[in-house]
Amino acid sequence: MITHAQVVARLTDPRICYIYQENKGLPGARNTGIRNAQSPYIAFLDSDDVFLPNKLSAQVAVLDKRPDLGLVAGGHLEVDKQFRVLRELRPWLKQPTLTFADWGHVLPLLPGCPAGSTRVAG
């Protein structure tokens, strides 16, 4: 079995920064990542998720085109262990105009990985 140290040693891409901290749970890990981000964008990828090949480029294109947006989210596919699609969720069909105020009410429909901007609206 591969060890944690072996995985970290294989990270040779200079864009990847490994940060160790004592376990602070998922919110603590995400907050540490956000605080240390050096890019204008942040995307969350949980250990049980997989990005489709063009997911990030599509979301970045929307954020670049619409600097007034702070978050882009999409639907997701539920798949089995062989990656056979079990169902596709498209939350925009239930909530076509999602505002920040609506986000807390729609969040259960958007468990997938949103991408956001580190820009702060004034």
* Mean pLDDT for back-to-back runs of 10 residues, the chain (122 residues): 86 86 90 88 83 89 87 84 89 71 52 50 38
Domains of the chain, residue spans: 4-117
Task: Check residue 41 and give its pLDDT.
Answer: 86
Task: Check residue 19 and give its pLDDT.
Answer: 87
Over the range 9-43, which residues count as b (16 or more CB within 10 Å of their CB) and which as e? eeeeeeeeeeeeeeeeeeeeeeeeeeeeeeeebee
Task: Check residue 120 and give its pLDDT.
Answer: 42
